[in-house]
Amino acid sequence: MRRVLGALCGVAAFVLLWEGYKAVGDDEGTKVFGVRVLPRADDLSMPHLYTVAQRLGRPEIAGGRPIWRVVLDACLFTLGITAVGFATGVVIGFVLAALMQRFRVVERGLLPYVILSQTVPLVALAPLVAGWSGALSFGPYPWQDWMTVSTIAAYLAFFPVAVGLLRGLQSPSASGVELMRSYAAGWWRTFVKLRLPSALPFLFPALRLAGAAAVVGAVVGEISTGTRGGIGRLVIEYSREATSDPAKVYTAMLGAALLGLCVAAFVSLIELPLMRHRRRRPVRVDLTKFRRARLGEEVNVI
């Protein structure tokens, strides 16, 4: 309930800021020492929010479908591409984090390149991926444009998962790791029973970031590769009509924003039962009592 109220308050605050600035802002933009620091407040740059809402109910073109339906179909198309890229990025990030936690040499050698990979601009990466994958095929099935977009989404999604999960896997205390070793638990059992549960508070924020990054990657990938049917292509097409129909541009932007919120909400739905169970059943280890008990057993055996 608190999250719902917080979300509603956030929407209300955004509406008040938008309409408030439009009411008091300068049509030429707010300038400080001759430098524009806030955008123009005219109807061409900032249409009223109720104008954007009304535009959603009108046809995209004369005699066509309502624009909300066109935006919804485009969002669903991009959502499918994002889901593939998000899932691929999560798997890659999970494997990399597990390897870096298991082998320190892998962490030292690979982590700098993982961080460096995110400095490559997407606008330059998308044509390269499209060119490299143009000759690929899966048996009789050639490489599709949406696969290129999913690859770009996965490229952005794997990074927060790899870094966040690695931090979580390294979070257990030395006493907890020592306790697992005293039970003769191997790396895999320690990973499943101790490290992975301890990493959950680090993993879900990373998944939310990965979901948002996957959406951005999918939208930018659609724009860069010219993939039709998605919300990214719709943003470009509607931007051409910005001077004559500015509210139409914001309908596509609204769809892209709602797409990101849907992905974040999906991660929150997964997080809710797992983290609630974790809060209700905390695990506490008193290593001192355990050592005393083991020492007493050894004395009795002697």
Q: What number of other Cβ atoms are within 10 A of residue 278's Cβ? A: 14
In a domain, 82, yes or no: yes
Per-residue model confidence as pLDDT tens digits over 41-64: 888 888 888 888 888 888 887 777
Q: What is the pLDDT of residue 19?
A: 87
User: Residue 127: which of 35, 226, 208, 51 has the closest Cα?
Assistant: 226
204's tokens: 């879900």
Range(s) of the domain holding residue 151 = 52-133+142-281
In a domain, 57, yes or no: yes
Q: What is the pLDDT of residue 299?
A: 38
Query: What is the DSSP code (8-state) at residue 66?
Result: B
Maximum separation of any 2 CA atoms in the chain, in Å: 93
Number of structural domains found in the chain: 1
In a domain, 5, yes or no: no
In a domain, 235, yes or no: yes
Q: What is the mean pLDDT of residues 80-93?
A: 94
Q: Which of the two residues, 272 and 238, has the higher pLDDT score?
A: 238
What is the spatial distance between Cα 79 and Cα 149, in angstroms, rounded to a whole number? 11
Q: What is the pLDDT of residue 279?
A: 52
Kindly report the CATH number assigned to the domain that includes residue 168. 1.10.3720.10
Regarding pTM above 0.85, the answer is: no
In a domain, 291, yes or no: no
In a domain, 165, yes or no: yes
